[in-house]
Amino acid sequence: MKKMNLDDLPEFDIADHLQSKEAVAAYLSMVLQDGDTDELLRAIGHVARAKGMANIAKATGLGRESLYKALVPGAKPRFETIMAVLRALDIELQAVCGR
């Protein structure tokens, strides 16, 4: 059996798999369930890249560089920034009581 070199594998980019509203909703729902703030920022960044960071920047009135900085682990973006990005992505948050 021939061994495969890791460098021969295609690079995985989650943004390539976030092309439908259903995929985006499922992805963000899973991340929200985990409750990790850094991972949520990263996930919103992935969705923004999938939809086009320049488009999201234009829709929010924020610069692309500012968006990239706001959507990385460890960033402390303002709530208003996150809500503006979610609106630009056509993502609606809903509260659901636990079971």
> Does a structural domain hold residue 46?
yes
Is residue 9 a part of any domain in this protein?
no
Residue 3 lies in a domain: no
In a domain, 6, yes or no: no
| Cα distance between residue 93 and residue 86, in whole Å | 8
Cα(75)–Cα(66) distance, rounded to whole angstroms?
A: 11
Residue 69: both structure tokens together: 């900085």
Whether 98 is covered by a domain: the verdict is no
Residue 25 forms part of a structural domain:
no
DSSP state letters, 21-43: HHHHHHHHHHHHHHT-HHHHHHH
Q: What is the pTM of this model?
A: 0.84
Q: How far apart are CA 80 and CA 84, in angstroms?
A: 6
- Domain count along the chain: 1
Which domain, by its residues, includes 51?
33-91
pLDDT tens figures, 4-15: 787 887 888 999
CATH number, domain with residue 48? 1.10.260
Long-range contact set of residues 77-84: C-beta below 8 Å, sequence gap at least 24:
77/41, 82/44, 84/60
* Tokens (6 digits) for 48: 């923004």
Residue 23 counted as domain residue: no
Residue 52, domain member (yes or no): yes
Instruction: Render pLDDT for 20-73 as a digit per residue (tens, 0 to 9).
Output: 999 999 999 999 999 899 999 999 999 999 999 999 999 999 999 999 999 999
